[in-house]
Amino acid sequence: MGILSIMTGKAGASGFGSASTAEQVTDGVDASHLTVVITGGASGIGLETSRVFALRGAHVIIAARNTEAASEARKTIMENNPAARIDVLKLDLSSLKYVRAFADQFNSMKLPLNILINNSGVMFCPFQLSKDGVEMQFATNHLGHFLLTNPLLDNMKATAESTGIEGRIVNLSSYAHHVTYPKGIEFDKINDEKKYSDKMAYGQSKLANILHAKELSRRLKGAATTCYVGLNPQLRGVTGKYFADCNVAKTSKLARSDELAKQLWDFSEELIKSAQ
């Protein structure tokens, strides 16, 4: 999608564009047979995603650090949609301990899992380390979602096998992935406070979201854009792509690197092991 299309809202190849709403891109979709986990589903894009998925009948699990705010969001959605099926579970993505606890809790509920939307994140933070000693934006936006995805995969695979419905994992990124450090991911200087730039660190974490999806797609073989990617039947069989305004978009050169995606995967696994 070019800048003119974004500004004018002109539809792309999908038939949708930047002016399309989440309700429009899911019009006519019956999601009553689906269960979806949405991280950060109580505010911003995540809240609208939760609302529209619930509107289409899906069983929505809002995974949020602030469960009081999430419960209020649930109440607001249900005031306009009394039939909505929404549950709230605590998830603090900045803590690997809490990510594991969430995965254990969800799996113990014996619910199916059709869709995982890795939406939550922090933006332009001053330099700080997570509880596990990792730069906060990288820890929350990428590493927490990386860890969360893995223990839920078996559930997703089993759900897909038993229902015949293709599972979907959606990693939210942004154009900010173009604005990152020269190497893309500063593997050897993730926690270097002297080199830290809040904007480039954010871009680094958003690049990591795309690379995670890219490598995850390779290993498995098998707001509006979020809902479109999560629900629209046009995307059956589509995997490992980057979408903007409901259309496949071009990523940065770094985001297209298979080697960098694999390196990030291995680096993330090592970070998690070292924090145990």
Q: Kindly report the CA angle at 136 between 134 and 141, in degrees rounded to 5?
A: 105
Taking each helix axis from N to C end, the angle separating 198-220 and 144-163, rounded to the nearest 10 degrees, works out to 30
Q: What is the per-residue pLDDT for 255?
A: 87
Taking each helix axis from N to C end, the angle separating 44-55 and 224-231, rounded to the nearest 10 degrees, works out to 40
Q: What is the per-residue pLDDT for 175?
A: 77
Q: What is the per-residue pLDDT for 227?
A: 62
Residue 142 lies in a domain: yes
Residue 13 lies in a domain: no
Q: Could you give the count of Cα atoms lying within 13 Å of 122 in the half-sphere of its Cβ?
A: 22
Q: Which amino acid is at 251?
A: T
Collapse the DSSP code of 216 into the 3-class scheme (helix H, G, I; strand E, B; otherwise coil) and give the result: helix
The answer to whether 58 and 86 have CB atoms below 8 angstroms apart is no
Q: Which residues of 157-181 are buried (b: 16+ CB within 10 A; e: fewer)?
A: eebbeeeeebbbbbbbbbebbebbb
Question: Would you state the structure tokens that stand for residue 101, as one six-digit string?
Answer: 């606890």
Collapse the DSSP code of 42 into the 3-class scheme (helix H, G, I; strand E, B; otherwise coil) and give the result: coil
Q: What is the per-residue pLDDT for 219?
A: 80
Digit-by-digit pLDDT tens for the chain (276 residues) are: 444 444 445 666 677 777 778 898 888 889 999 999 999 999 999 999 999 999 999 999 999 999 999 999 999 999 999 999 999 999 999 999 999 999 999 999 999 999 999 999 999 999 999 999 999 999 999 999 999 999 999 999 899 888 888 888 999 887 788 889 888 999 999 999 999 999 999 999 999 999 998 898 888 767 455 566 667 777 777 666 666 666 667 788 998 899 999 999 999 999 999 886
CA distances from 265 to 100, 149, 215, 271 (A): 18, 12, 7, 10
Q: What is the per-residue pLDDT for 223?
A: 42
Domain count, the chain: 1
Percentages of the chain per state (helix, strand, coil), in multiples of 5: 50, 10, 40
Residue 11 lies in a domain: no
CATH number, domain at 123?
Answer: 3.40.50.720
Residue 205 lies in a domain: yes
Residue 104 lies in a domain: yes
Q: What is the per-residue pLDDT for 46?
A: 93
Q: What is the per-residue pLDDT for 260?
A: 95
- Please give the model's pTM, rounded to 2 decimal places: 0.84
152/143 Cα distance (integer angstroms): 15
Q: Which amino acid is at 19?
A: A
**Which residues are within 8 A (CB) of 108 and not within 5 positions of it... i.e. 6 or more apart?**
none
Q: What is the per-residue pLDDT for 1?
A: 45
Q: What is the per-residue pLDDT for 9?
A: 55
Rounded (10°) CA dihedral 133, 135, 137, 140: -20
Catalytic residue among 175, 181, 196, 228: 196
Q: What is the per-residue pLDDT for 160?
A: 86
Domain hosting 250: range is 24-274
Q: Is 228 marked active-site?
A: no
